[in-house]
Chains A and B, each alone.
Chain A
Amino acid sequence: MSRPRYVMTVDTKTCVGCNACVLACKSENGLPEQGYRDWIVTETTGAFPNLFQEIRSERCNHCDRSPCVSACPTGASYRQEDGIVLVDPAKCTGCKACIAACPYGARYVHPRGFVDKCTFCVHRLTAGKQPACVDICPTDSLTFGDLNDPRSAVSRLLKSRRHKTLLPEEGLLPHVFFLI
């Protein structure tokens, strides 16, 4: 059996930007006041009256080609074999090279000094649960799973729905897909 390749899909057609994912993440991970591992982006395009609005729940994209991991001088930022990018606070110096390297603004300095970001709730995955944001989403806009498993919900969604990633021109191969 091949290794899992964890990805997340965000359905922009059903996301209402209720912030439940943001609050669930803060609560689950005990984040500080200024700390956010996920956030809501509302993008409005066009000219009145022909306006189009897209609401996205965004987070670290756990890129295949992670510039944050390459920039890290101590190995504190690393990528697991399942594709999840993590930070080991015990190795982090707070040099902020990873924050500068990330085009998504997904990282922030925790008040204790180390850099923090979305972990796809790796502690919940090992307990057989879904990430907290996925669990709480009232419109089922967030789906998480193994892209290497053709029967997984994310595989089926990405086969059947049009989708995009953020800043594809950077060539970072993100693991968060937006269904459009």
Chain B
Amino acid sequence: MTEIEINRASQLIDPQLHIWGIEVPIYLFLGGLTAGLMILTPLLLGRTPPAQRTKWMRWLPLVAPLILSFGMLALLIDLSYKLHALRFYAAFRPASPMSWGAWILIAIYPATLLLGLATLDDNDWRWVSGRNWIKKIGVLTLAEAARRFALNHTGRIRIVNIVLGIGLGGYTGLLLSTLGVRHVWSSAVLGPLFLVSGISTGAALMMLWPLGEKSHPWLRKVDIAAIVTELALLALYLVGLSSGNTAANAAAQLFLGGPYTATFWSLVVFAGLLIPLFIELFEARKRIRPTVWAPVLLLLGGFCLRLILVSAGQV
């Protein structure tokens, strides 16, 4: 028997570490979603000749920076010293994944905006440049120059978006996995897992976006591959923890009989992955019109995965 009594009464630490609430899982989810969009949007555009792109598809690249902004807002809300938020950009700390993340986030805005500018056609651009607010804030000349640049370097901008998307998606997992003393997070699988989950949720959002029926089969194919990979990575993650030392084993037990078992298996594995996988396979096989269920469940499952892992890591 070992009984440990601590006289400290810090609310964030005792009796259980509680440092990151719902804001960080929201940020990790929206960051992963952005990463998925940054990877899949250029690929989809590459497969679709400009003449066949619908209006919604032309505006799709601008969704990623919008979603990321909500994610960064969640991150800002989580900071306990908000006035110092810009301190992230007064230093670059190579050993800190959070520092890498802060700089990647900044690089994402110009990359996604340039992709957006390169994708809008002349009619769209006339509509944008005709807005009063864009004239008022005095960025029209800059935006026109940026659009000329983007149109001349579309291929490179797409590649940059994909590379940054992979970096962002992987970073959301690495942020946790490098905190080695928290055994739930101390797994090299978390980086690839969050990246693949980001691709899956990105595909899910794109399936909800009215892109036209021609895009849907390709997105579904990508999504099925992502879901299967994610299931394999989740299995690898649990096997890795289970075969580790005593502390890692205890971490695995949180999902294999412990307090997170019900939520993890029901919300993440069944509702968030297996059921949407079944729905997508069924829709593909029977060639029936896709419903919103699979994408909605995938998005909810992706959020639950991050919420549960962030919470379990603090036990």
Contacts and interface: CB of A to CB of B under 8 A. Distances in A.
A155 B82 CA distance: 43
Interface in B192-249: 245
Interface of A: 17, 19, 22, 34-36, 39-47, 67, 69-76, 90-97, 99-103, 105, 108-109, 112-115, 169-170
Contact of A74 (B9, B99, B182): B99
Contacts of A94: 79-82, 84
A76 B85 CA distance: 12
Given A71-B95, A91-B87, A170-B180, 6 more contacts: A36-B8, A40-B6, A70-B96, A73-B91, A105-B14, A113-B83
A148 to B, nearest CB: 26
B4 A42 contact: yes
Contacts of B78: 95-96
Contact of A73 (B7, B13, B98): B98
B93 A43 contact: no
B93 A36 contact: no
B264 to A, nearest CB: 20
Contacts of B93: 72-75
A162 to B, nearest CB: 20
B178 to A, nearest CB: 7
Give the interface residue-count category, chain B: 35 or more
Q: Main SS of the interface on chain B?
A: loop
7 contacts: A39-B7, A41-B7, A70-B96, A73-B88, A76-B87, A91-B91, A95-B98
B292 interface: no
B19 A96 contact: yes
Given A100-B182, A113-B80, A113-B81, A47 B98 contact: no
B10 interface: yes
Contact of A102 (B9, B14, B91, B181): B181
A69 B178 CA distance: 13
Contacts of B7: 17, 19, 22, 39-42
Contacts of B83: 113
Interface string B6-29: 111111111001011000000000
> What 10 A-B pairs have minimum CB-CB distances, sorted nearest first?
A94-B80, A113-B81, A39-B8, A94-B81, A73-B99, A103-B181, A73-B98, A70-B95, A96-B19, A74-B87
A114 B84 CA distance: 9
B12 A95 contact: no
Contacts of B313: 100
B90 interface: yes
B4 A43 contact: yes
Contacts of A90: 84
B1 interface: yes
A38 B82 CA distance: 27
Nearest to A44: B3
B175 to A, nearest CB: 8
Given A100-B20, A102-B181, A113 B2 contact: no
Contacts of A105: 8, 10, 13-14, 17
B124 to A, nearest CB: 38
Nearest to A91: B87
Contacts of B98: 71, 73, 95, 97
Nearest to A42: B5
